[in-house]
Amino acid sequence: MPTLAVLLATLQVWLLGPETVPPEIVASVADRPGISATVSLSSQRMYVVVIDKMGLKKTYAWKVSTGREGFATPTGAWKPTWLSLDHRSKTYGDAPMPYAVFFTGGYAVHATEAVGLLGRPASHGCVRLALENAETFFGLVQSYGAQDTRIEVRA
């Protein structure tokens, strides 16, 4: 049975059409197999471009929540440092961080149950995604490997 978040995301795509990745982000990705994830703090979106071994590109555009006032999400570019399927925050009261892809220090791209807050800053600095999107991203990073994944956070 699909979760409410999945049903709402499906309804949004049906009514509004899928979000697309801006052409300048797709054009900036190197033409070699791997994953390029660009988080835009200003638009509260994560754009993912995946290039497979045949050179075919697949793109994803997802709403995110990044750091709210007083809890900045760091900007820069990194390769993932480690993955944790069912992580819990040691800093924030054992808060669940499923499908966590850590990219610098304690910052990660991970799932959230607070899908109503996606699209605006609401986290303690991590990049939060709807569960199904975090699961997709986690699986892609597992499949392609950290060495062929780039995560960039832009203002």
| 65 neighbors 114 (Cβ within 8 angstroms) | yes
Helices (H), the chain: 4-16, 23-27, 131-144
pLDDT tens per residue, range 55-101: 999 999 999 999 999 999 999 999 999 999 998 888 877 788 999 99
The CA distances from residue 115 to 7, 67, 87, in Å, are 12, 15, 18
How does residue 19 score in pLDDT terms, banded at 50, 70 and 90?
A: confident
Percent of residues, the chain, with pLDDT higher than 90? 73
How many other β-carbons are positioned within 10 Å of the β-carbon of residue 96? 13
Average pLDDT over residues 132-151: 98
Structure pTM?
A: 0.85
What pLDDT was estimated at residue 18?
61
* Position 14 pLDDT exceeds 50: no
Percent of residues, the chain, with pLDDT higher than 70? 88
Neighbour-count burial of 21, counting CB atoms closer than 10 A to its CB (0-12 exposed, 13-18 middle, 19+ buried): buried
Q: Which domains does the chain have, with CATH numbers?
A: 21-154 (2.40.440.10)
